[in-house]
Amino acid sequence: MSTMECRSLEITVASAKGLKKVKHLSKMDVYVTVKLSGDPAYTGQLEHRTHVAKDGGTSPTWSNSAFTFTIREALANANRLVITFKITCDRSNKDIGEAHVPVRDLLDHVGADKAGQRYITYKVKKPNGKPRGEINFFYRFGGQMTRTGGAGGFAVHAPPLPTHNPAPYPWPRAPALAQLLPSWGSFSYHGCSPSPPPSYSYHTVAPPHMPPAGYPTVARPMGYQAEGPPAGYPPVDPPQVPPVVYPPRGAYGF
């Protein structure tokens, strides 16, 4: 990859004058194809076309015909870039003539500041050199920009994507203490019903509160992780702590 100094070049086709009339046609409907050549690394849009000037005859005009190219100044100053204007008759699909404009001539014509729009006229000729009229167009250069060139052409440096933070990972669910204790039916009481007393209820206390009166201090439930969330997840403040469930205290101290 290598960086290159580039500029944008805007071409606006305005009109043509004194075109050679196509034989056997009473009316001439013509259009202009504008093409940039000379840069083998550029893979963008190299060719544009104006609309057809209906009944324009030998002096057609065009509107809304502004086209933009990206040029490398090093190639332009080396006189390797050329803008070609080809005028074609739409009725017969016959080429009337072409004008070949070196980009270096356009750079020299605007001066050192390379600013502002210019109007210029070039001769239209056949490939054998015979004159076929004139073409008039406006052009302007944009400011300098740096691009990276590779095997696939130019690529503009894209801005970095915004950093995405993953959603907080849920804390592991700790098993309730009641799930770790034997069930009521696993105890044998002489003459006592295995069913819980009528005042059976659960008291839910979340750390760091103390357990109800008469209960010993209960350690944190198995599965609780106090060292933080898994790797790659942001810390959660305050920590999400699962509640501790205390079983009812019966008449026999269980």
CA–CA distance, 176 with 199 (Å, rounded to integer)? 21
In tens, the pLDDT along 193-228 reads 455 555 444 444 445 555 666 666 555 555 545 556
Q: Cα 111 vs. chain centroid, distance in angstroms?
A: 36
Whole-number pLDDT of residue 137: 97
DSSP SS3 for 13 = strand
Is 212 exposed, middle or buried (CB count within 10 Å of its CB: 0-12, 13-18, 19+)? exposed
Structural domains in the chain plus CATH codes: 2-150 (2.60.40.150), 174-181+201-223+236-249 (no CATH)
Instruction: Tell me which of 42 and 103 has the higher pLDDT.
Output: 103
CB atoms within 10 A of CB 47: 13
Whole-number pLDDT of residue 89: 92
Count Cα atoms within 13 angstroms, Cβ side, for 39: 31
Whole-number pLDDT of residue 159: 42
Count Cα atoms within 13 angstroms, Cβ side, for 113: 4
Would you give the DSSP letter of residue 166? P
In tens, the pLDDT along 134-178 reads 999 999 999 888 766 544 444 444 344 445 554 554 545 555 555
CB 53 within 8 A of CB 27: no
Total number of residues shown for the chain: 254
The 3-state secondary structure of 76-135 reads HHCCCCEEEEEEEECCCCEEEEEEEEEHHHHHHHHCCCCCCCEEEEEEEECCCCCEEEEE
DSSP SS3 for 177 = helix
Whole-number pLDDT of residue 28: 86
Whole-number pLDDT of residue 33: 97
